[in-house]
Amino acid sequence: MATFTASVPRTLPTDLLRRRAVQKLLLLAVAAAILVPLANARWASGSWPDALTVDLTKPLTDVSDWIIDNRDSHPLFLYFFGYVSNAVVICVRAVYLVLLAAGWAGVTVFGALVAWRVAGVRLALGTGAAFLACGLLGMWVPTMQTLALMVVAVLASVAVGLLLGLAGGLSDRLDRALRPVLDTMQVLPAFAYLLPVVLVFGIGVPAAVLATVVYAAPPMARLTTLGLRGADKEVLEAVDSLGATARQRLLTARIPLARRELLLGLNQTIMMALSMAVIASVIGAGGLGDRVYQALASVDVGAALAAGIPIVLLAVVLDRVTGAAGESAGEETGSRRSWLYAAVAVVVVALAARLAGRLDWPDAWTLNIATPVNRSVDWMTAHLYSGVPVVGGTADWAGHFTTWVLDPVRGGLQWLPWWSVLLLVATLAWLIGTWRTALTAVLAMAAIGVLGVWKPSLDTLSQVLAAVAVTLVLGFATGIAAARSDRFERLLRPVLDVFQTMPQFVYLIPVVALFGVGRAPAVAAAVVYALPAVVRITTQGLRQVDPAALESARSLGATPGQQLRQVQLPLARPALLLAVNQGVVLVLAVVIIGGLVGGGALGYDVVFGLAQGDLATGLVAGGAIVCLGLMLDRVTQPTQRRTKKGA
Amino acid sequence: MRVRTTAAVASLVLLTGCGAADMTKQASPFANAQGAKTVTLSVQSWVGAQANVAVAQYLLEHRLGYRVDTVQVDEVPAWDALSQGRVDAILEDWGHPDQEKRYVDDKHTITRGGGLGVTGHIGWYVPTYLVKQHPDITNWKNLNKYSSLFRTPESGGKGQLMDGSPSYVTNDKALVSNLKLDYQVVFAGSEAAQITQMRQFAKEKKPFLTYWYAPQWLFKKVPMTEVKLPAYKEGCDADAAKVACAYPHTPLQKYLNADFSKKGGKAAVFLKKFKWTTEDQNEVSLLIADQKLTPEQAAKKWVDSHASTWKAWLS
């Protein structure tokens, strides 16, 4: 999403580090020696002991039934949730009607002019072309539905984020209280947010908008706080000495000074909202995501692509335009008058289109790409799918990956006694982080057991581990190559940019075409999604290694391979750890969505819960996903806190 | 700023009408956008249901002058949407006793719309070419003997029983454990994925065991034989965890939103009368799924050649 910067702190002297690690391991070993025999004597079983689980099915089903029975009569719903839901419906409808009234020409011109004023001619042309492409693909109406939903969700997220960010920026106590919550929210997979809102609001647009707001507000809040706190002390003192009141100080100095962060926050919020608005089609958001979702359900790759391309175009355009706004923040952009001209132009075009009776995108201008795409996919399935001599087909690869990698890893994890999994989690988390992160990780893992979804969670975990391993091998290799060759890095950069802006949902389309249905395609999608962030962090980490250290290694006659192994990689260790952390978080998000293409495990439980209206199953799985996300984040979290998700 | 928020809140209250806001009566913000009289039909993901909706939509649009929106919702959420009026009708329901009791009998937000005329049956099926090799495979008692035939990477050491979409009516997990079968239920994730998989198996004449249902157009492409499960008796599937019997034969039902049923005018009357046969439905389904016609073209083709059938629905 936005560009990523990794700071590389100085590493601790290695022998000190090693001594501390040994101490930690000894302590853990002592604790394990006491606790494990106790636990084992009491609850001897490989999987999580039944005695320690709490069955939430009954209470959750009761809650869900109660809500359905009382939704139309209880005051809580009539006087609170009802209004919230109403407000969302009215706002979305209003924006949608405005967009429809402007017609395709009006909307396109409006988009292009805004892009022109904010970001220049090239982006304006790009924006116009992107909108026309949406229409050309026959996706005008779904695109407008998604846009209407997005506009409302982004405005709400920005409002909520600004409020929280202001609170955190002005009060230290609130900052301390909010920060861990926001940090955690950033690492949770989007899917986990869907169920609670569905429980209250039922399937439909209000639930989708609210889930999007919850998902997209945290980056705005974080960056607002960051901007307010990072303001130049001297400027603030100068303002104080002029005798400004607290309110004047906030409005005239601190907020303008934080403008760059605010715009970066807006950028991140928009990107996350788009990503979520698409995923929320699972709970009835409609629009483009819905088209992708339905097409995936019928494995109609062509139709999915036709809806996927507008999503990608929207994402790239929105990212570039808001990004450019952030870059040029501070300089005065354009005069009032040119904005006025732009507004007049939009109105004129919209009226002209209306008079010409061309409000709807004309059917004759649509390009049917579904049929040719499906034909080439059929050809691919016929020729690449299986039985290609020597290398085997993609389906064979998927089959082999499942049999030789996924199955053994899952089997191994599920075979491990439950206490040893906890011990493993504790060891890893403590070695990399602090005792606090270790404790959180162990508690999160234990909570999964208590929820009674130990087995499916380990299934999901096995997919995550396999995907992370593949991602790291590919990512580190590419990152090292990019760090060594400037030309390669230049070639790679635009590719990474585009891949990082795409919403998670889009990645499911090509993998279904190539690998069919099952766990292997879910893993493949996760790898592709997480790869850009890992490559980028690795490259940056390697490039920031102290040139003096490299130079001295070279003068000692080290070969390039030795330089890499003995100087660059050890010195870039913090960046590499960060890459692992990001990789794990991103992979989990997509492996969960893989439930839609046969990934099974927790993701499937969530889909099942939504599809069958069996919210107990879905909510328990959602809870387990949250815990798994927490655990994975804490286990891989280096001592220094890192930047946020989405890289 | 504060003035603006107050104004916003005030206008909101005005817009929503003072007092209670019942969110179960809210339509989708995207519905009725152009101010036409609209009927919203729920279309489920399987092709038979698409065929019903395609023909109903064609007649509503071309003979009765309605605008028809279709919404693809899974079966259980569709009941909820129907009760809230986000959908006006479900044309093919395979039996959801819990929902029927809650919405039709207790809350009266949904009314029965009569039978569709088609009888549905869910069961376990094996391809007919397999039955020719192993004639005794069609009895569940012999399934364990053959479980090694059905092994796949996803099913572990057991035989694979393939299920489709997580949203379909199924007791398969309970059946496998209660009948003590050495099988693993594997969900393909969607019906389309399941069909793709079955066709690939059939192309290579490989054995497979699958959850499937009739009427279904795929039988014309991949001939399959049902595996006999312990006979169905009234009420033997009452407790979902203890089911150990076959699936019933279900006359498929139509359901209408209660308000729509009263105030829906000609459209509601038409949808209540809509009734055809398994052959009719299969004809349209095959046009859609096998000859790749769009639902609208398929509906037109059927409508053009079956005037006597649909004339009765309009009278």
- Alpha-carbon distance B76 to nearest alpha carbon in chain A (angstroms): 5
Round to the nearest angstrom and report the end-to-end CA distance of chain A.
6
State whether A71 and B196 contact (CB < 8 Å).
Answer: no
CB A413 within 8 A of CB A6: no
Nearest-by-CA chain B residue for A360? B34
Q: What local confidence, expressed as pLDDT, does residue A474 receive? A: 93
* Cα–Cα distance, A222 to A229 (Å, whole number): 11
Q: For residue B299, what pLDDT band results from cuts at 50, 70 and 90?
A: very high
State whether B190 and A298 contact (CB < 8 Å).
Answer: yes
CA atoms within 13 A on the CB side of A518: 24
Q: What was the ipTM of the complex prediction?
A: 0.71
- A170 CB neighbour count, 10 Å cutoff: 15
To test the contact with chain A by mutation, choose from B154, B167, B172, B210 the residue with the greatest count of A C-beta atoms within 10 A, namely B154
Q: Is the pLDDT of residue B31 over 70?
A: no
CA angle A578, A273, A332 (to 5 degrees): 90
Backbone angles phi, psi at A164, to 5 degrees: -65, -40
Q: What local confidence, expressed as pLDDT, does residue A466 receive? A: 93
State whether B16 and A78 contact (CB < 8 Å).
Answer: no
User: Which residues from A are below 8 Å from B206, CB to CB?
Assistant: none
CB A536 within 8 A of CB A496: yes
* Cα–Cα distance, A497 to A533 (Å, whole number): 10
State whether A90 and B29 contact (CB < 8 Å).
Answer: yes
List of residues 6+ apart from A228 with CB closer than 8 A: A165, A166, A168, A169, A170, A254, A255, A258
Q: Is the pLDDT of residue B21 over 80?
A: no
Nearest to B76 among A284, A598, A612 (CB): A612
Q: What local confidence, expressed as pLDDT, does residue A170 receive? A: 83
Give DSSP secondary structure letters for A495-542.
Answer: HHHHHHHS-GGGGHHHHHHHH-SSHHHHHHHHHHHHHHHHHHHHHHHH
State whether B165 and A611 contact (CB < 8 Å).
Answer: yes
Joined together, the tokens standing for residue B122 give: 């869910």
Q: For residue A11, what pLDDT band results from cuts at 50, 70 and 90?
A: very low
Radius of gyration of chain A (CA): 26
- Alpha-carbon distance A334 to nearest alpha carbon in chain B (angstroms): 26
Percent of chain B's residues with pLDDT above 90: 24
Looking at residues A13-20, what average pLDDT do you find?
63
- Alpha-carbon distance A525 to nearest alpha carbon in chain B (angstroms): 16
Q: Is the pLDDT of residue A306 over 80?
A: yes
Backbone angles phi, psi at B163, to 5 degrees: -110, 160
State whether B84 and A596 contact (CB < 8 Å).
Answer: no
CB A472 within 8 A of CB A583: yes
Backbone angles phi, psi at B304, to 5 degrees: -65, -30
Q: For residue A153, what pLDDT band results from cuts at 50, 70 and 90?
A: very high
Nearest-by-CA chain A residue for B81? A203
Look at the block and give the residue holding tokens 């890499």.
Answer: A564
User: Which residues from A are below 8 Å from B154, CB to CB?
Assistant: 402, 518-519
To test the contact with chain A by mutation, choose from B4, B15, B16, B23 the residue with the greatest count of A C-beta atoms within 10 A, namely B23
User: Which residues from A are below 8 Å from B191, CB to CB?
Assistant: 297-298
State whether A298 and B45 contact (CB < 8 Å).
Answer: yes
Look at the block and give the residue holding tokens 């409808």.
Answer: A93
Summarize pLDDT for B37-70 with one digit per residue, the tens: 778 888 887 888 889 999 999 999 888 888 887 7
* Cα–Cα distance, B58 to B295 (Å, whole number): 9
Helix (H) or strand (E) holding A174: helix A172-187
Summarize pLDDT for A56-97 with one digit per residue, the tens: 778 888 887 888 777 777 777 777 888 888 888 888 888 988
Joined together, the tokens standing for residue A219 give: 């980056």
State whether B26 and A85 contact (CB < 8 Å).
Answer: yes
Summarize pLDDT for A477-500 with one digit per residue, the tens: 999 888 888 888 888 888 887 787
- Alpha-carbon distance A462 to nearest alpha carbon in chain B (angstroms): 14
Residue A190, burial from CB neighbour count under 10 angstroms (0-12, 13-18, 19+): buried
Q: For residue B254, what pLDDT band results from cuts at 50, 70 and 90?
A: very high
CA angle A214, A119, A329 (to 5 degrees): 70
State whether A611 and B74 contact (CB < 8 Å).
Answer: yes
What 3-state DSSP class applies to A231? Answer: coil
Q: Is the pLDDT of residue B71 over 90?
A: no
User: Which residues from A are below 8 Å from B2, CB to CB?
Assistant: none
Nearest to B30 among A83, A145, A608 (CB): A145
Q: Is the pLDDT of residue B2 over 60?
A: no
Q: Is the pLDDT of residue A10 over 60?
A: no
* Cα–Cα distance, B225 to A237 (Å, whole number): 85
Round to the nearest angstrom and report the end-to-end CA distance of chain B.
60
State whether B73 and A284 contact (CB < 8 Å).
Answer: yes
Q: Is the pLDDT of residue A208 over 50?
A: yes
- Alpha-carbon distance A162 to nearest alpha carbon in chain B (angstroms): 14
On average, the pLDDT of chain B sits at 82
Most confident of A151-160, A387-396, B238-247: A151-160
Joined together, the tokens standing for residue A265 give: 């926050």
State whether B84 and A202 contact (CB < 8 Å).
Answer: yes
User: Which residues from A are below 8 Å from B25, CB to CB?
Assistant: 72
Classify the C-alpha dihedral A473-A474-A476-A480 as positive or negative: positive
Burial B256-267 (b: 16+ CB within 10 A, else e): bbbebbeebeeb
Most confident of A358-362, A388-392, A474-478, A641-645: A474-478
Q: What local confidence, expressed as pLDDT, does residue B17 receive? A: 44
Backbone angles phi, psi at A6, to 5 degrees: -105, 125
Residue A50, burial from CB neighbour count under 10 angstroms (0-12, 13-18, 19+): exposed
Q: Is the pLDDT of residue B124 over 80?
A: yes
To test the contact with chain A by mutation, choose from B190, B191, B204 the residue with the greatest count of A C-beta atoms within 10 A, namely B190
Look at the block and give the residue holding tokens 């809580």.
Answer: A76
Q: Is the pLDDT of residue A154 over 90?
A: yes
For residue B215, cis peptide bond before it (omega within 30 degrees of 0): yes
Cα separations in angstroms, A534 against A6, A143, A500, A530, A600: 11, 31, 11, 7, 26
- Rounded to 10 degrees, the C-alpha dihedral A496/A497/A501/A502 comes to -40
Looking at residues A13-17, what average pLDDT do you find?
59
Q: What local confidence, expressed as pLDDT, does residue A230 receive? A: 78
Most confident of A327-336, A501-510, B159-168: B159-168
Classify the C-alpha dihedral B183-B158-A407-B186 as positive or negative: negative
Chain-centroid distance of CA A524 in Å reads 16
- A18 CB neighbour count, 10 Å cutoff: 11
More confident position, A301 or A315: A315
Give DSSP secondary structure letters for chain B.
Answer: -HHHHHHHHHHHHHHH-SS---GGGPPPTTTTTT---EEEEE--SSHHHHHHHHHHHHHHHHTS--EEEEE---HHHHHHHHHHTSSSEEEEE---HHHIIIIIIIS--EEEEEEEEEEEEEEEEEEHHHHHH-GGGGBGGGGGGGGGGG--GGGTTSEEEEE--TTS---HHHHHHHTT-SEEEEE-SSHHHHHHHHHHHHHTT---EEEEEES-THHHHS-EEEEBPSPP-TTTTSSGGG--SPPPEEEEEEEEEHHHHHH-HHHHHHHHH----HHHHHHHHHHHHTS---HHHHHHHHHHH-HHHHHHHH-
Nearest to B16 among A77, A83, A203 (CB): A83
Of A13-17, A129-133, A283-287, A610-614, the least confident:
A13-17
Radius of gyration of chain B (CA): 23
Residues of B in CB contact (< 8 Å) with A are 12, 15-16, 20-30, 33, 45, 72-77, 79-81, 84, 86, 102, 107, 153-154, 156, 165-167, 187-193, 196-197
State whether A299 and B190 contact (CB < 8 Å).
Answer: yes
Q: At what angle do helices A57-70 and A194-201 cross, to 10 degrees?
A: 40
Q: What local confidence, expressed as pLDDT, does residue A645 receive? A: 38
Q: What local confidence, expressed as pLDDT, does residue B58 receive? A: 92
Most confident of A333-347, A554-568, A633-647: A554-568
Comparing CA positions, the residue from B304, B301, B305, B280 lying closest to residue B292 is: B301
